[in-house]
């Protein structure tokens, strides 16, 4: 199934809020586990279970991040909520694709291009701004 590019954590993605940084690292691990399962062509049920796990963790992470933002009157709160919702909808679309089409290279490409890129961009821009705001 083609070339697999895993997410790699680096310290440039550290926003300075330990709980959020730890959750981001865990999200990278969970996305990589999903990619690895797809690479090894595990069954659809196993892949969907891993996607369930990822979806649950994403919701937990976003809820905690949004709580911190709201509690601290972060000016980017509304924009973050919109982006978080868009990401959750993207995961739901991926689930529907896997449920209807099975595990295909196109599903892996979606994860790599959309999900992985989304996280890198979101952390390095929006969450970095949040970290600066909270650490001032």
pLDDT digits (tens, 9 = 90+) for 44-80: 888 888 888 889 999 999 999 999 999 999 999 999 9
CA 97 – CA 13 distance, rounded (Å):
30
DSSP letter at 12 equals: G
Q: How confident is the model at residue 110 (pLDDT cuts 50, 70, 90)?
A: confident
Three-state secondary-structure class, residue 10: coil
Q: What's residue 62's pLDDT?
A: 96
Q: How confident is the model at residue 35 (pLDDT cuts 50, 70, 90)?
A: confident
What tokens does 55 get?
């979806």
The whole model's pTM is what? Answer: 0.86
Residue among 70, 64, 82 at smallest CA distance from 17: 64
Q: What's residue 3's pLDDT?
A: 53
CA 78 – CA 83 distance, rounded (Å):
9
Q: What's residue 20's pLDDT?
A: 94
CA 13 – CA 101 distance, rounded (Å):
34
- Asked: is 18-34+45-135 a CATH 1.20.120.50 domain? The reply is yes
- Radius of gyration of the chain from its Cα atoms, rounded to whole angstroms: 15
Q: What's residue 23's pLDDT?
A: 95
Own/partner pairs, 108-112, CB within 8 angstroms, 24+ separation: 108/1, 108/2, 108/4, 108/35, 108/38, 108/39, 109/2, 111/31, 111/34, 111/35, 111/38, 112/4, 112/5, 112/35
Q: How confident is the model at residue 126 (pLDDT cuts 50, 70, 90)?
A: very high
Q: How confident is the model at residue 1 (pLDDT cuts 50, 70, 90)?
A: very low
Average pLDDT, the chain: 87
Residue among 131, 124, 51 at smallest CA distance from 88: 51
pLDDT tops 80 at residue 2: no
């Amino acid at each position: 199934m083609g070339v697999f590019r895993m997410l790699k954590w680096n310290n440039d993605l550290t926003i300075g809020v330990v709980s959020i940084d730890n959750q981001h690292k865990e999200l990278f691990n969970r996305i990589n586990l999903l990619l690895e399962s797809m690479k090894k062509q595990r069954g659809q049920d196993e892949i969907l279970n891993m996607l369930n796990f990822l979806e649950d963790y994403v919701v937990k992470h976003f809820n905690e991040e949004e709580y911190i933002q709201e509690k601290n009157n972060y000016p980017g709160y509304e924009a973050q909520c919109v982006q978080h919702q868009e990401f959750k909808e993207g995961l739901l679309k991926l689930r529907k694709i896997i449920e209807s089409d099975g595990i295909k290279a196109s599903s892996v490409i979606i994860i790599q291009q959309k999900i992985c890129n989304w996280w890198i961009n979101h952390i390095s821009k929006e969450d970095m701004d949040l970290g600066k705001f909270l650490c001032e």
